[in-house]
Chain A
Amino acid sequence: MSGRQRRTFVVFGFTTTHAALAAEQLLKDLGVPVTPIPSPKSLGGALCGIALRLDPVDAARAEILLERVELAVAARGEIEDV
C-alpha cells in the first residue's frame, strides 16, 4: 500500500454536456483549473456524463462565476482522488 495521502476534490455536475463544456471553458479562461471527469454516481440526479473536478479552494468562486452566466451547477459533491 502506498502511503500517499488522498486529496479531496469538489465535483460539479451538469444536466447537459453543453453546459459542462461551457463551464469548463469559462472557468479555464478565468484561471480556475478544472478537470473533466466521468460524472460520479454519488452525485445522483439527471446529470450528463461529464462532471468538473476542482480544488476545494476554488469551488465557491467558481460557482459564483457560473451563476453569473446562468450556467447553473446542477449537483455538487466531493470525491477523493483515486
Chain B
Amino acid sequence: MPGPTPRPVAYLDHGATSWPKPQQVVDAVVRALTDLGGNPGRGAYAMALDASRAIFEARRTCAELLGVPDSRDLLFQPGCTAGCNLMLKGVLKPGDRVVVGSMEHNAVARPLEHLARLGVEVVVVNADSTGLVDPDDVERQVRAAPARAVVCQHASNLTGTVQLIGDLADIAHEHGALMLVDGAQGAGHLDIDISALGADAYATSGHKGMLGPQGVGLLYLAPDLDAQTQIEGGTGGGGSESPDMPPERPDRYEAGTANTPGVVGLGAAAAFVAAEGPEQRRREAELTRRLHEGILEIEGFHVLGPPPGVPRVPIVSAVHDRVDADRIAFALDRTYGIAARAGLHCAPWAHRTIGTIDCGAIRFGVGWSNSEEHVELALRALQEIVSS
C-alpha cells in the first residue's frame, strides 16, 4: 500500500479552506463525536440535552464574535453557499430588481443567474481594475429604478479587495433596498460587527478564516427580514403536527438533524478567533504584504487587486507574462511542497472584471498557520519556476 501523501511544506491556500485547524477545534469535534451523541433538539435525556447545550453555546460564541445582538438571528447552514442561496432565493421574487457587484463568487452569481431566469432583474455594477465596487455606481443604479436589494461580497476571493459594505448598506437603505452580503472571505480575517455594518443578511463559511470544520457555515438574517425557507423538515418538539415550518428562529431555517461536530467545532474556532484575532490579523497582514511586494519584484509577475498599502484580506493572486498559472501551481506543489491554487477560483465574474478570464491566476491565501519561512519559500520558488 502506498503511504499517506506528504503534508505540504507550506500551506498557502487558506482562501479555499484553512489548514491545519487549531487543536481546540479538533478536540471539540472529537468531543462532539465521543460525548455529545444524542440528537440535539430531539430529546430531553442527558446526552441529547448536552448536545443541544453545546449548539446553543456555539451559536452564542459565534454571535458575539460577529456582532449579532440576538444569537437566534444567526443560523447554522451547511456552508456559505447554502447561506447565500437562502438569503437570495428566500428574499428575491420574480419582478424584483437587484443590484450586484461584478466580483461575486459563483455562490452568489449562480443563484442570481437562476433567479434571473425566473424573472428577477439582475443589474451588475462593474468593479474597477482593483476589484473595488464604487458605491457611487451602485447609487446611480438604485436611484434609476426601485431595487429590492443590493448584493455584494465583503471581500474578493480573487483579488482580496475589501468592499465598502458600510457605504453600500447606507445607500441601499436610503433607497429602501436590503443589503445582502457574502462574507465568506471576511469572517475571521476582518474585524466584523454585522450590526454596525448595516447588513440585512450576511452569509459566511465556517471553514475559511473562521478556522472551523468544513460542512458548516453561518447566515445572519436581520430580525425583521422574513426570508422564505428553502428547506422544510423536522425541527423536533411538539409542533411536529403542523404542516408548516415554525415561525421561530433558529428552528425555522434549520430543519433536519444538526451537524453537531461541525457546529461545536465552529464554536471552538470562534472562541479561538475571538482570543487570537487581533494578533493573528496583524501577522496575516504583514505576511500578505511581504508576499505581495516580493511577487512584484519578480520579473514578469503582475499582482491582481489593490496595490500594497491598501487594505486587503490575506489573498494575493498573480499572473505571469510567460508562464501559465496551472504550470506554476503544479511546480509549486511537486517541487516545493507548496499548496496554492490556480484557475478561476469559482469566480468567473471576478476574472472577467479583472481581465483574467482566459488565463486564470495563481492564488495564495495566507492564514493563521503561516510563517515568514513559508512566504520566503514561496517567493524563492516562484523566482526559480519562472526563470527555468
Contacts and interface: CB of A to CB of B under 8 A. Distances in A.
Contact of B44 (A15, A38, A41, A44): A38
Nearest to B40: A17
Interface in A38-74: 38-39, 41, 43-51
Interface SS majority for chain B: loop
A49 B44 contact: yes
A49 B248 contact: no
Contacts, number: 75
Which residue of B248, B249, B250 has the most chain A CB atoms within 10 A of its CB atom? Answer: B248
Interface string B40-73: 1111110001001100100100000000000110
Contact of A21 (B52, B235, B236, B248): B52
A21 B60 CA distance: 12
B246 A46 contact: yes
Size category of the A interface is 20 to 34
B239 A37 contact: no
B251 A39 contact: no
Given A16-B251, A22-B56, A50-B49, A45 B72 contact: no
A49 B236 contact: yes
Interface in A1-48: 13, 15-19, 21-22, 25, 36-39, 41, 43-48
Interface residues of B, number: 24
B4 interface: no
Contacts of A49: 41-44, 236-238
A51 B49 CA distance: 11
A18 B53 contact: no
Which residue of B59, B235, B238 has the most chain A CB atoms within 10 A of its CB atom? Answer: B238
B44 A18 contact: no
A19 B236 CA distance: 14
Contacts of B246: 15-16, 46
B335 interface: no
Contacts of A22: 56
Given A16-B248, A39-B237, A48 B41 contact: yes
B250 A37 contact: no
Interface of A: 13, 15-19, 21-22, 25, 36-39, 41, 43-51
Interface of B: 40-45, 49, 52-53, 56, 59, 71-72, 235-239, 242, 246, 248-251
Which 5 A-B pairs give the minimum distances between C-beta atoms? A46-B239, A48-B237, A38-B44, A17-B41, A47-B238
